[in-house]
Amino acid sequence: MSGMDERKFRILQAIIDDYILTAVPVGSRTISKKYEMGLSSATIRNEMSDLEELGYLDQPHVSAGRIPSAKAYRLYVDQLLQSGKLQSGSTQAVQSYFDSRTRQMEEVVDQAARVLSSLTKYTAVVLSPTGSQPRIQTIQLVSVSHGHALVVIVTDSGIVRDTVIPVPPQLDHDTLYAISRMLTESLHGCTLTEAVQRIPLLTERMGENETILTHLGDFLSEGSANRKPHVGVGGASNMLSYPEYSDMDKARSFLSLLETRDKLASIVQQQGDVAFTVRIGPETGVPEMSDCSIVTATYSTHSGRQGTIGVIGPTRMQYSRVLSILSSMGQQLSALFSQDAETPGDNTKRSDSE
Amino acid sequence: MSGMDERKFRILQAIIDDYILTAVPVGSRTISKKYEMGLSSATIRNEMSDLEELGYLDQPHVSAGRIPSAKAYRLYVDQLLQSGKLQSGSTQAVQSYFDSRTRQMEEVVDQAARVLSSLTKYTAVVLSPTGSQPRIQTIQLVSVSHGHALVVIVTDSGIVRDTVIPVPPQLDHDTLYAISRMLTESLHGCTLTEAVQRIPLLTERMGENETILTHLGDFLSEGSANRKPHVGVGGASNMLSYPEYSDMDKARSFLSLLETRDKLASIVQQQGDVAFTVRIGPETGVPEMSDCSIVTATYSTHSGRQGTIGVIGPTRMQYSRVLSILSSMGQQLSALFSQDAETPGDNTKRSDSE
DNA sequence: TGTTAGCACTCTCCGCAGGTGAGTGCTAAC
DNA sequence: GTTAGCACTCACCTGCGGAGAGTGCTAACA
């Protein structure tokens, strides 16, 4: 980073800004004219030559302008993150998008991805919260039809899952309720994994209905294993608007990556405890995204589970804008998921005002 | 359709087959050589000229080969549907894809879309079942936290929705259970709309807990209004593999159409009671899909609700293949959604074998 | 010593030929 | 009715030259 004085930095900044806007290699004349630097193109040229030597600029071919390298974006972004001036006004925009009432966690996640993509004009990915295993609060069996019951498990972070299991057909509502009470008392406060272990101990108390336990155990162990977050994607087609993806093959491989949700989730998932992660070009570690950048942020629920929101765009992304939008969105989601046991947007507020 | 003899039809068929395979305008020589017709290219040429006059063939420019018109595909498909020889062996392939156990309706729909797209190499859309309003079987309130309860409504076609509503904090499990029993008895067999109407009549029986009714009413009326089917899309990027979408703008508008699920649903949704619908090119009525075809089929649940599955591809789609795959998939889904109140793939089978 | 004007040079992009080849329509012979 | 032959038409490819943008270098200037 040595050899980098104040003026060089300002020029680099100008080049990045211009390139982010136009996606066209930027020449010395452009800088000296459009960005008032009080310097002639020749001087700029010299500086640019230096910047290229330092690795901040690339030249597609001899007689083209320069484009910022990944290193340049990195510098730019680091600067941005340090100077912490991102909050800005985008909170409003984010907020206004969420007034439509959504209920299920999956819906919120999908909706968030749509909002994020339409605000940024890039591709957005939202992962539902994961993390520490939720603890069981209530287990309830509801009779569905003769010989089948619905199992609903409520945890401190919302409904885990519901499933239908077969039950002895002679069981009536009240018996199911009694069993539910018993199960709830025995397993309250356990994580799913703990519950699976504890289930065998309950056999004698169940009497003839022990088949229920088998099914419940199956269900629980699957629920505890299957901790894949839900993945919402929005604005996949936005990417095609950018000239860097005018190549069909590139576009196709990018889009098909977006379709394999598991892989996508593992790429986007943010590791560590930082507020933001910015991965530029090769830093993504994904060949399909070698000229993309991924910006992610986390949000968290009141029970400490963490989710990730991310924006994928060309390396010449409007980082500052994106970071500020992500920041707002993260706050919104945190708030949303922290009321009412991660089952957001319930009727409370609206009904109160009626 | 007059002026169309047996031989012309065979030639037309050959042209369509070849064009479906290659996407390149097909010339008279190709037909006479690749497809053994015992005719010289000159004869074919004459016939092709006739076919063009009849409107079955188009010529991109004077000295190019011919390509089938929408009218030709229409004829081809009608023929295919009449001769009812589509069942074939693809059922196996479809079946084998579904052994992975899925549970929630949404998951099944998404999975079906993925399977469908990977089998056909086109873009697939699957709509969850809609139709006659489901009837309430059970209503259950489950205590979630102090002052909040989870409402689970089981209908004859599965769980409608669950939501958290506020309840008076002093209510304990048993009271909630009693209320649940009361609600179930009063509303059993109602459709959601009927239930909304009947709720006011229950006020006196609830005593001090009537706020619950307000929230329940809100929830029900929303559930009955919000009859949008879930839309699963698979293989969006497949479309980019076909030369007809090598134009970026076309591709983008197509993909962004796929992203607006509501619009997509209304396009794909099949009207009428026929087993299959094939809409070719302009017949789709959607500018973005003017050179696509949409093939849809329906599946239905044991409670008579209908869902739609569809494949979107270029007009030169492999109709025969697609129709047979759709047919299998439709059967699979019908079967899947008819066991266990539309909560498919439950533990029954697996547990029995353990 | 830093800045600037000027100039030669490079390389992409674009439009314009000309050649090639696939395919047609027509005519005449079988 | 079928086929061989032939002239004709375009799309596509390739190579070429000019225009324009941008650079690097050198020399002059403050």
Question: Nearest nucleotide to A40 by CA–C1' distance?
Answer: C4
Q: Which of B165, B215, B351 sits opposite A215 (nearest CB)?
A: B351
Q: Which residues pair with A292 in a beta bridge?
A: A314
**Which among B165, B234, B236 has the least Cβ separation from residue A346?**
B165
Spatial neighbors of A107 by CB under 8 A, at least 6 apart, are none
What letter does residue B287 receive in the DSSP assignment? G
In this predicted model, what pLDDT tens digit does every residue of B186-242 receive, in sequence order?
Answer: 998 888 888 889 988 888 877 777 888 888 888 888 777 666 788 999 999 999 999
Residue A215 β-bridge partners: none
In this predicted structure, what is the pLDDT of residue B159?
A: 60
**Residue whose CA lies closest to nucleotide D1 C1':** B43
What integer pLDDT is reported at residue B97 of this predicted model?
63
Q: Which residues fall within 8 angstroms of residue A121, CB to CB, at 6 or more apart?
A: A235, A238, A241
Per-residue model confidence (pLDDT) at position B95: 65
Task: Measure A343 CA to nearest chain B CA, in Å.
Answer: 7
| Chain-chain contact of A251 with B251 (C-beta, under 8 angstroms) | yes
Distance from CA of B86 to the nearest CA of A (A): 30
Starting at the earlier edge strand, list the strands of the sheet with A148-155.
A136-145, A148-155, A158-166
* Res. B118: pLDDT tops 80: yes
Closest nucleotide to A44: CA versus each C1': C3
**Do residues B117 and B235 touch, judged by C-beta distance below 8 A?**
yes
Instruction: Give pLDDT, residue A256.
Output: 94
What is the CATH topology of the domain spanning B6-68? Arc Repressor Mutant, subunit A (1.10.10)
The encoded tokens of residue B121 equal 């190499």
Q: CA–CA distance from B182 to each of A216, B5, B179, B199, B210 (Å)?
A: 27, 72, 5, 12, 13
What is the distance between the alpha carbons of residues A315 and A33, in angstroms, rounded to a whole number?
A: 25
Residues with Cβ within 8 Å of residue A3, at least 6 apart in sequence: A50, A54
Report how far residue B102's alpha carbon sits from residue B181's, in angstroms, rounded to the nearest whole number: 31
Q: What is the mean pLDDT of residues A162-170?
A: 80
- Which nt has its C1' nearest the CA of B31? C23
Contact of A149 with A164, CB cutoff 8 Å: yes
Locate the chain B residue with the closest alpha carbon to A157.
B144
Closest partner CB to B259 (pick from A159, A163, A237): A237
Query: What's residue B70's pLDDT?
Result: 95
Average pLDDT over residues A265-292: 89
Q: By the 8 A CB rule, do B16 and B55 touch? A: no
> Which residue of B lies nearest to A233 if distances are taken between CA atoms?
B259
* CB-based contact A154 B177, cutoff 8 Å: no
pLDDT above 70: percentage of residues in chain A: 86
| Domain B90-131+229-338 bears CATH identifier 3.30.450.40 | yes
Residue-wise pLDDT for B23-58, tens only, equals 999 999 999 999 978 999 999 999 999 999 999 999
Q: C-alpha distances in angstroms, B48 versus A166, A269, A289, B41, B51?
A: 63, 58, 48, 10, 5
Q: What percent of chain B has pLDDT over 90?
A: 44
What is the band of A154 on the pLDDT scale with cuts at 50, 70, 90?
A: confident
Structure-block tokens of residue A224: 């505890």
DSSP string, A303-323: TS-EEEEEEEEETT--HHHHH
Q: What is the pLDDT of residue B140?
A: 86
Give pairs for B222-226: CB < 8 Å, separation 24+: B223/B153, B223/B160, B223/B161, B223/B192, B224/B133, B224/B191, B224/B192, B224/B193, B224/B196
Residues A39-68: tens digit of each pLDDT: 999 999 999 999 999 999 999 998 899 999
Residues of A in contact with B342 (CB under 8 A): none
Q: Where in chain A is the domain with CATH 1.10.10.10?
A: 6-68
| Angstrom distance (rounded) from CA B215 to CA B222 | 11
The first and second tokens of residue B33, run together, are 């050589």
Give me the CA A40–C1' C6 separation in Å, rounded: 13
Which of A173-187, B127-141, B210-224 is most confident? A173-187
The CA–CA distances, whole Å, from B280 to A18, A208, B14, B69 equal: 46, 60, 19, 10
Q: CA angle at residue B239 from B235 to B240, to 5 degrees?
A: 115
Q: Residue A314: what pLDDT?
A: 96
**Residue limits of CATH 3.30.450.40 in chain B:** 90-131+229-338
Spell out which residues of chain B touch residue A106, defining contact as CB-CB under 8 Å: 106
Q: What is the pLDDT of residue B351?
A: 34
| B103 min Cα distance to partner chain A (Å) | 7
Residue numbers in B near A248 (CB within 8 A): 240, 246, 248, 251
Summarised one tens digit per residue, pLDDT across range B292-307 is: 999 999 998 877 788 9
Q: In whole angstroms, give the CA distance from residue A173 to residue A186.
A: 20
A94: confidence class by pLDDT, cuts 50, 70, 90: low
Instruction: State which nucleotides on strand D lie below 7 Å from a protein beta carbon.
Output: 2-5, 8-11, 20-26
Mean pLDDT of A171-194: 88
Q: How far is the CA of B38 from the C1' of C30 (A)?
A: 17
Question: CB A103 to CB B161 under 8 A?
Answer: yes
Mutate to test the interface with B, among A210, A211, A237 (most CBs of B within 10 A): A237
Cβ atoms within 10 Å, residue A180: 22
Whether the Cβ atoms of residue A70 and residue A57 lie closer than 8 Å to each other:
no
Q: Looking at the DSSP assignment, which residues form a beta bridge with residue A295?
A: A278, A311
What is the spatial distance between Cα A224 and Cα A215, in angstroms, rounded to a whole number?
14
Average pLDDT over residues A3-30: 93
Q: What is the pLDDT of residue A280?
A: 96
Average pLDDT over residues A248-272: 90
Largest CA distance in chain B: 91
Side-chain-side CA neighbours of B12 within 13 Å: the count stands at 27
| Apex B323 CA angle, B317 and B324, nearest 5 | 125
Look-up of token digits 């439950």:
B346
pLDDT at A237: 95
**pLDDT, averaged across chain A:** 84
Q: Rounded distance, CA B95 to CA B50, Å?
A: 45
Q: Where does chain A hold its CATH 3.30.390.60 domain(s)?
A: 136-225
Pick from A254, A232, A235, A204: which is nearest to A308 by CA?
A: A232
Closest Cα in chain A to B184: A173
Q: Tell me which of A75 and A202 has the higher pLDDT.
A: A75
Considering the entire predicted model, what is its pTM?
A: 0.84
In 3-state terms, what secondary structure has residue A340?
A: coil
Of A159, A165, A234, which has the smallest distance from its Cβ to B162's Cβ?
A159
- Nearest residue, CB atoms, B164 vs list A214, A235, A346: A346
What was the pLDDT predicted at A316? 96
Calculate the angstrom distance between C1' of C15 and CA of B149.
Answer: 74
A251 and B240 within 8 Å at the Cβ level: the answer is: yes
What is each CA distance from A302 to A327, A329, A342, B149, in whole angstroms?
Answer: 18, 16, 8, 18
CA angle B165, B170, B171 (to 5 degrees): 60
Provide, as residue numbers in chain A, all residues whose Cβ is less than 8 Å from the Cβ of B215.
Answer: 347, 351
Contact check, Cβ <8 Å, B237/A256: yes
CATH of domain B136-225: 3.30.390.60
Q: Which two tokens stand for residue A138?
A: 């209530």
Is B352 a residue whose pLDDT tops 50?
no
Residue A138 to chain B, least CA–CA distance (Å): 7
